[in-house]
Amino acid sequence: MGDIPVMTQEAAAEIAVPTRRERSDPLGIAYLATIGIVMLAWIAGLVWAAIAFFSWLVS
């Protein structure tokens, strides 16, 4: 149990190299927003279909 590698601050600083993220990526934000809108529309469609089906079932 004594041979657990201890991460020094130099190694941690080498690992945590800041990537090129100064500005927010507008294409990625648009991509995520599109995925979110599509997911919301899909879930809303499923809810609407379930409500329509059960209201037809009990009528």
Q: Could you read off the pLDDT of 2-54 as tens digits, one per residue?
A: 566 665 655 655 666 566 656 678 899 999 999 999 999 999 999 999 999 99
Q: Is the dihedral of CA 30, 34, 37, 43 positive or negative?
A: negative
Q: Where are the domains of the chain?
A: 24-59
Q: Which residue has the tokens 């041979």?
A: 3
Q: Rounded to two decimals, what is the model's pTM?
A: 0.52
Alpha helices in 1-59 (DSSP H): 9-15, 26-58
Rounded CA Rg of the chain:
25
